[in-house]
Every structure is written in C-alpha cells, then in structure tokens.
C-alpha cells in the first residue's frame, strides 16, 4: 500500500516538474510577450498544482496528516495566477508592446485608448 | 529510489528557474521581465513543497501560502503601475 502510494506521488511530482520545465522552455523560445505569457501561466499553474498535489498525498498517505494548507495553496494558485497574467497582459497591451510580425489580426486595436502619459519613458 | 526521484524533480525545477533567469536578463520589454519573475515565484512554491518532503517536516507548508499571496500582490501592483503610472490613486473624482 505504501509502495503504491509512493509510485503515485513520484508520478505526480515528476509530471509537475516536467510541466514547469516545458513552461520555462516556452518562455525562452516563443517570440512575443503574449505568447510567452500564455506558455508560462498555463504551464506553471498546472505544474505547480501537480507538485503540490503530490505533496498533499505524501502527507496524507504516508504521514497520516490531512493538511488543509496545501489544498488551500492549490486552490489559491488556480485562482490567482491566471488573474495576474490577465492583468499583466492588459497592462502590456495598453503600454504599447507590439505583437509579433507574424500575427494575423489584432481585434483589440482601436477599442482602447493608450494611456501613456510621458512618451519618453514608456517602458519599452 | 523515492529520494532520488525527489532530487531529480528538484534539479528539473532548478533548471527551469535558470531558464526564467535568462528571460529576466535578456527580456526586451518590462512585461517580459515581470512575467518571468512571477513564474520564478511560482516555481519557488514547488521547491518549498519538495523540500518539505525531503526534510520530513510540515512546518514549511505555511510558506507555500505566503509565497502565493506575495507573488499575486506583486504582479497586481506592478501591472497597475505599468498601466496607470501609480499604484494607489488618491484622485476620487472619476
């Protein structure tokens, strides 16, 4: 029983670590801010949630402790990381970060007034 | 065997954190750097969980929640600074 639980835990942890590595490689290789944000937010969220699920199963099956803090951490990460990424993407668009050259269309152009106050320091 | 798997996962997470550090250094715009720093904070949560397993204690499990909340607050504050130019607005006439 302990062996089966350890196999499950090891699978979850290795899967989460590999998802984090895939998210990092995507952040390094993709051409654009928005595509990089797509890779890092989704991959890092699922990978870290998987690792924390492995930690939760370890404390539940092997130590016999039902730790609600780890479950609360999983729920908090699933709620907040996409919201933070959405806010950062909107801020990047309204600051004026360009899309990649290979982008086909931009439906959001013209619907939003740029709020750059000082043109000299627009953080680009 | 189990400890070897945990150490392997820690090595993979360290490698991914190093790739994020490369993106922080050479990112062309500021939102790139903020995305990479946020993801480093998220990776640090997983590293804390694995260290809890390795050290066989449960006292560091509070740090997971702490890192999550701090990463979220930092990202929200920095995106608001990028968009509006200030973080806490005292102008209530809008």
Cα separation, A68 vs A70, in Å, equals 5
Residue A64 pLDDT: 85
Query: Residue ranges per domain, chain B?
Result: 1-83
Model confidence at B89: pLDDT above 80:
no
Cα separation, B28 vs B63, in Å, equals 32
List all residues 6 or more positions away from A36 whose beta carbon is below 8 Å from its beta carbon.
A26, A27, A30, B23, B32, B35
Model confidence at B12: pLDDT above 70:
yes
pLDDT bucket at A116, cuts 50 / 70 / 90: low
Cα separation, B38 vs B28, in Å, equals 17
- Tens-place pLDDT, residues B42-80: 999 999 999 999 998 888 888 999 999 999 999 999 988
Task: Tell me whether A62 touches chain B (CB under 8 Å).
Answer: no
Contact indicator for A89, A34 with CB cutoff of 8 Å: yes
C-alpha angle A57/A60/A63, rounded to 5°?
120
- Among the partner-chain residues B19, B61, B68, the one whose CB lies closest to the CB of A24 is B19
Contact indicator for A41, A82 with CB cutoff of 8 Å: yes
Evaluate if pTM is beyond 0.90: no
* C-alpha distance from B43 to closest chain A C-alpha (Å): 7
ipTM over cut 0.90: no
B/e letters for A51-88, b = 16+ CB within 10 Å, e = fewer, are bbbbbbbbbbbeeeeebeebeebbebbeebbeebbebb
Let me know if B52 is exposed, middle or buried by CB neighbors in 10 A (0-12, 13-18, 19+). Answer: buried
- Tens-place pLDDT, residues A26-85: 999 998 899 999 999 999 999 999 999 999 999 999 888 888 889 999 999 999 999 999
* C-alpha distance from B27 to closest chain A C-alpha (Å): 9
Chain A: residue nearest B5 by CA?
Answer: A10
- Cα-based distances in Å from B69 to A3, A63, A93: 35, 27, 25
Model confidence at A111: pLDDT above 80:
no
Chain A: residue nearest B24 by CA?
Answer: A28
């Amino acid at each position: 029983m302990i062996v089966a639980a350890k196999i499950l835990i090891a699978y979850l942890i290795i899967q989460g670590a590999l998802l984090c590595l895939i998210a990092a490689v995507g952040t390094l290789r993709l051409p654009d801010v928005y595509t990089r944000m797509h890779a890092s937010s989704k991959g890092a969220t699922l990978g870290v949630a998987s690792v924390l699920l492995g930690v939760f199963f370890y404390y539940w099956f092997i130590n016999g402790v039902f730790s609600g803090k780890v479950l609360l951490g999983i729920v908090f990460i699933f709620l907040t990381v996409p919201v933070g990424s959405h806010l950062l993407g909107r801020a990047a668009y309204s600051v004026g970060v360009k899309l990649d050259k290979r982008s086909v269309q931009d439906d959001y152009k013209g619907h939003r007034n740029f709020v750059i106050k000082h043109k000299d320091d627009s953080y680009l | 065997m189990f400890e070897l798997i945990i150490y392997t996962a820690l090595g993979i997470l360290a490698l991914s954190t190093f790739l994020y550090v490369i993106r922080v250094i050479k990112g062309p715009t500021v939102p790139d750097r903020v995305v990479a720093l946020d993801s480093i904070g998220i990776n640090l949560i997983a590293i804390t969980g694995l260290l809890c397993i390795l050290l066989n204690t449960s006292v560091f499990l509070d740090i997971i929640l702490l890192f999550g909340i701090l990463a979220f607050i930092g990202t929200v504050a920095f995106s608001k600074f990028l968009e509006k130019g200030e973080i806490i607005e005292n102008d209530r006439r809008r």
